[in-house]
Structure 1
Amino acid sequence: MTAEIMNWTGHVLTGPRSKLAEVVQRPECSRTGVYFLVGPDPENSLRSQVYIGESDDVAKRLKQHNQPEEKGGKDFWERVCLVTSKDQNLTKAHVKHLESLLISIAGSLGNCVLVNGTAHEYGKGLPESDLADMAFFLEQIRAVLPVLGLDFLRERISPSAAISVPAGQVQRSPRFVYKVPKETAVAHAQEVDGEFFVLKGSQARGHWVGTQGGYEQLFQQMIADGVLVESSQPALREFAVDYGFSSPSAAAAIVSGRSANGRTSWQVANSGISYAEWQNQQVNAAKTSVE
């Protein structure tokens, strides 16, 4: 799979390790660029392991990484993504600078387990114009990777952080509430830039009561990570931080301790309107404005 952005000189190529023989034959692989090796974390299937590298001959480096661990390769990865330049203007100094920035960003965000060690600081010798170009190049990388399903460089703006962002730059929903049936647990949530956040202080069932599988592993992982902590109320847990979910149903499942339809469970506060009804209102209003 390839990806480009209009008016950007960068070019992205990604594919599974099983297709590496085809990937390394692509002309992009003989160019200077940065690359990402991505695979599952054996200790937490909900996260990825990521290695970030650079080379002036990416195909050669990928062949080295494909060797067994005992021969200097890396076993963990299942997917590769490389970023090069269509005009081939990226130099070794450029990609070293990009690599150090990418490692630093991925490490600070904590969205993945970074296989790299400490990032080295490069770029001090680059001209000011080159540093500006690489800053723009970096932002385009961060914009295009989530579209390809690689979101470890994505900065999530939680509802509490969104307060300081100027109006219009971040899309915010009204506040939603979910009262777990037959329980005293009450949770509050807000959708920010397409991500559904359960807010700090929200309550959840104290243990998983649903069938095995599904979101049970996420529930247990959130307890282990200190996201769900013991509450002052018996048999309940509490969200220690704002926590983003991929969907309202995922959020509802964690709050209720079992599978739940978040589109109907979450309701706009003080209105009785479900999330699904609210979303339909937004879609209909947008359609009307276009017409």
Structure 2
Amino acid sequence: MTQGRSIRLFLVDGTPHGLLTAEIMNWTGHVLTGPRGKLSELVQRPECGRTGVYFLVGPDAENSARPQVYIGESDDVGKRLKQHNRTEEQGGKDFWEKVCLITSKDQNLTKAHVKYLESLLIQQAQKVGRCTLNNNTRHDYIGLPEADQADMAFFLEQIRTVLPVLGFEFLRDASRPPSRDTVEGLAGDTSEVRESPRFRMTLPKHGITAYGQETEGEFFVLEGSQARSAWVGPAHGYQRLHQQLCEEGVVAEGGDGLLRFTRDYAFSSPSAAAAMVSGRTANGRAEWKREDTGQSYGEWQDELVSEAAGADADES
């Protein structure tokens, strides 16, 4: 089984919407986050005087389906945040509503470390494609010894682990995890990736067939699946998602008037996946059917819950 992780969260002022710190056991990193309205309190914290990387996060006015993010580094994060708090005319940034900064508890992060880490973070955010980056350019920083590069790669993975816990999803990889067979085939690795049976969704009238699978709590539409070429339903939040995936090349024209998924893509729910395939809102729990038995996604999930509840009852 996959090993669990322990993350310690602390509400600095005792409220869920105030300042928050986070730490992972056996990791030297320290995370501090809070809303822009609490910036005057945040910059007084000792962490803000250290060397670190930070994220400014806010809505994207042109794309409600994703946040806008600026990734930066400084050897005095508090000073940089004060500069960013100015108006656009004064050289600041107006878009952001939340800030998250990562420093080191042992204060061993140097300017060279955070410049390299900033480069990795921007590269990762661009690769994942879950946000609109506010950074104008990315500078590839390679002036770091090999051992330090390995340390920063580990540091990056811890950041990617803790950020979703705090509600920041923009570094979470949208690619599909390796299958159970692949994971168990690795020497010395006994991890287990929970993977559902394959599901199929069909729209016979339009000649559409799509395939999906739930892995690690996300519903993936699989590469090669077909989808409606345009949104045909009433205006909805999923309509912007449909447009976004077309713009990003996640789906592309297949030559038959339909779109095809160019890669596996993760959706937050089977209904979001079904909406993308059908070009209208859809109940994914009913639309997706098991490829082997014809059982709906909802029926399959209910069966899992019933089996788990029955097993608990037997044990007690």
Q: Which residue of 2 aligns with 1:8?
A: 27
TM-score, L = length of structure 2:
0.80
Q: Which stretches in structure 2 are left out of the alignment for 5+ residues?
A: 1-19, 185-190
- Cα separation, partners in 2 of 1:96 and 1:220, compared to 1, 3 Å: closer
Deviations 1:40-78 (A, max 9, x none): 333322233322111222111100011122322122222
The partner residue of 1:35 within 37, 47, 54 is 54
TM-score, L = length of structure 1:
0.86
Question: 1:107 & 1:220 partners in 2: Cα distance?
Answer: 19
Q: Which residue of 2 aligns with 1:102?
A: 121
Q: How many residues align?
A: 287
Matches within 5 A, 1:1-291: 1-116=20-135, 117-124=137-144, 126=145, 128=147, 130-158=148-176, 162=179, 165-167=182-184, 168-180=191-203, 183-233=206-256, 236-286=258-308, 288=311, 291=315
Aligned Cα root-mean-square deviation (Å):
2.7
Deviates more, 1:105-114 or 1:79-88: 105-114
Deviations 1:105-149 (A, max 9, x none): 22333333333312231452x473x44433322211111112222
Q: Shift of residue 201 of structure 1? A: 2.4
Amino acid across the alignment from 1:275: Y
- Cα separation, partners in 2 of 1:229 and 1:95, compared to 1, 3 Å: closer
8 Å CA contact retained: 1:178, 1:188: yes
Deviates more, 1:104-113 or 1:27-36: 104-113
Amino acid across the alignment from 1:58: V
Amino acid across the alignment from 1:147: V
8 Å CA contact retained: 2:174, 2:265: no
Q: Which stretches in structure 1 are left out of the alignment for 5+ residues?
A: none
8 Å CA contact retained: 2:31, 2:102: yes
Question: 2:277 & 2:128 partners in 1: Cα distance?
Answer: 25
8 Å CA contact retained: 2:130, 2:170: yes
Amino acid across the alignment from 1:209: V
- Cα separation, partners in 2 of 1:134 and 1:286, compared to 1, 3 Å: farther
